[in-house]
Structure 1
């Protein structure tokens, strides 16, 4: 990337101490753009932190970035995506060449590089969509889960070149499958909404499964919207390919061994509620008394938002760096952080 280093004069904006800067608010502002995913929003918020920081040495700057990253993680319930972005940016800053005698100039260049990366990273989805196209035949029937920007873009791109039909799961508790359904049907792609509980029922009718990701971890496994794991298990049993799409900024140095190793897991998830005591004279209501029975918000809170899919269930991972096996993801991730 071309250097944007200035004349060497101190930049007052970079050197000013601004104790009122809130990295979480910066993160929320970045997320307001529909095209910006949590890892990129994390990078943008940390670049703004660099701009506002009064750090005078690289050690102080990295320390401030680590504090900012921890602050973000504490304030965001699902920290997986933003953690991957923070990890990538802090690793970049830590290894950034700092021969310049003017530290303000160095910070300007770091900010420039961070912003340039996030601008170029939006195009990663187009690269992935083109890679996926080569695996889609005419009249393919595809099953997807929840809502993913990169999956949606891949399906929209495929629609311009191939005949496809798509089954979309409801994806409770957030119900984001409806967003995918509306986006695809708006351009004329034949779609059918599928209950999460009907995935096994529909699997025999599909050619392959296509899901997005919140993170791809060191094992080559996948963290994504809850329900992805059971979908992968059923696809494996039915001998159907299970493809994951992930931009490289979602590659995350984490090694969960089970669902309960995810950073989103807490003691409240899947905990048992205490039964409500009724007076002896009050009969229990029949389940048929309310035909529109749904989960309460408290019941939903006891359920996970994401789950972990083990690498043995994943056929291929499509990324802007190529089409990788889960083992290939592990090798790439090690090399990526070793050579930042």
Structure 2
């Protein structure tokens, strides 16, 4: 593992003076720089970018500093298509700053201490996944068959850790349209874990064969519900119907003070998602050309009498059957899973029920 900061970097500075630069600091650039490290997730990248903002800030009072941090957080939220994870990190860091005990001899010393604490927390937070992997191991029996969804750093680490102690097999969904399940497949098969990629539409088909479902998280919200890659909700619904445990893995910095009541309350939802585009003229040349291309390479025997069902080889129709970027943009990246569908949440602070997550969140922000 390559950490973004060494332990010595996390607790010391090269000089007693804060760094001053002439050009304007770009918090989004700092955020992207932090994300370049594979071990750094969006919440941690947000914390690192805000600590750098404190370092570069010329704020002379706590009010000015908090205002600068809030402005920086808003900038990040506006420039990132899915701001859920980074918002959780921003909330955690700003909450820490506003409640930080003011025992420093000067304001500049206070800023240095805030930066030191932020970097130290991030340095140690990358090890939270190892704690979660160890907690998860106790719930995995020999010869377990596990279903997971898309790609998650913490789930992948938990599965790799389980593989060193027990025999497991894994089904992973393809997770269209980005296909991140294939990344999970490559990582697991490289170390010898039996793994099969499952169509997103085949989750109900495979559920009878699995012992439990294990998913990661974008955020765990105040209700105890889960925000994760789209498809997680339907997976949880099917698991509940089939009486299979549905476990979520989440680092505590992903606990988010958000209380969605439905899919449409998520920050990522907008008017374009699931909207209907203006239909094209049925007599346009473009539509006629697509229709011709879709059928001219097909064996006529594979086209049904009503001309609505075709079973040509996928290679023949791949160009016509892949979603366009416009079609992708009309679909959600994440969805919300209700707490009553979640069996347990495995975190670095322990194994929690969804209700326990809610209680922990209230306590964390009340006595941070």
Q: TM-score, normalised by structure 1?
A: 0.95
- Name which of 274, 299, 303 aligns with 2:278: 274
Do structure 1's residue 322 and structure 2's residue 350 form an aligned pair?
yes
CA distance in 2, matches of 1:328, 1:339: 16
For the residue of structure 2 that corresponds to 1:291, the secondary structure is helix
Kept in 2, the 8 Å contact 1:5–1:105? The answer is no
String of CA shifts for 1:275-309, please: whole Å, max 9, x gaps.
11143895872755552121111111100000000
- Name which of 231, 247, 250 aligns with 2:235: 231
Q: Which has the larger radius of gyration?
A: 2
For the residue of structure 1 that corresponds to 2:47, the secondary structure is helix
Q: 1:190 to 1:55 in 2, by over 3 A?
A: same
Once the two structures are TM-superposed, the CA of residue 4 in structure 1 deviates from its matched residue by: 5.9
Indicate the residue corresponding to 1:285 in structure 2: 291
For the residue of structure 2 that corresponds to 1:143, the secondary structure is strand
- Name which of 87, 90, 105 aligns with 2:91: 87
Q: Give the number of aligned pairs.
A: 336
Indicate the residue corresponding to 2:336 in structure 1: 308
Do structure 1's residue 154 and structure 2's residue 182 form an aligned pair?
no
Task: Note the 1:11-26 alignment, pairs <5 A.
Answer: 11-13=17-19, 16=20, 18=22, 20-26=24-30
String of CA shifts for 1:34-84, please: whole Å, max 9, x gaps.
000000000000000000000111111111000000000000000000000
RMSD of aligned Cα (Å) = 2.0
CA distance in 2, matches of 1:166, 1:205: 11
Give unpaired runs (5+ residues) of structure 1.
Answer: none
Do structure 1's residue 254 and structure 2's residue 258 form an aligned pair?
yes
CA distance in 2, matches of 1:218, 1:242: 18
For the residue of structure 2 that corresponds to 1:49, the secondary structure is helix
- Name which of 328, 332, 335 aligns with 2:360: 332
For the residue of structure 1 that corresponds to 2:75, the secondary structure is helix
- Name which of 222, 226, 230 aligns with 1:222: 226
Kept in 1, the 8 Å contact 2:18–2:112? The answer is no
For the residue of structure 2 that corresponds to 1:216, the secondary structure is strand
Once the two structures are TM-superposed, the CA of residue 120 in structure 1 deviates from its matched residue by: 0.2
CA distance in 1, matches of 2:235, 2:156: 18
For the residue of structure 1 that corresponds to 2:209, the secondary structure is coil
CA distance in 1, matches of 2:129, 2:212: 20
String of CA shifts for 1:138-197, please: whole Å, max 9, x gaps.
000000000000000000000000000000000011110000000000000000000000
Kept in 1, the 8 Å contact 2:274–2:331? The answer is yes
Indicate the residue corresponding to 2:139 in structure 1: 135
Kept in 2, the 8 Å contact 1:173–1:305? The answer is no
Kept in 1, the 8 Å contact 2:177–2:323? The answer is no
Q: 1:80 to 1:280 in 2, by over 3 A?
A: closer
Once the two structures are TM-superposed, the CA of residue 100 in structure 1 deviates from its matched residue by: 2.2
Kept in 1, the 8 Å contact 2:236–2:342? The answer is yes
Kept in 2, the 8 Å contact 1:47–1:114? The answer is yes
Indicate the residue corresponding to 2:303 in structure 1: none
For the residue of structure 2 that corresponds to 1:285, the secondary structure is helix
- Name which of 69, 73, 77 aligns with 1:69: 73
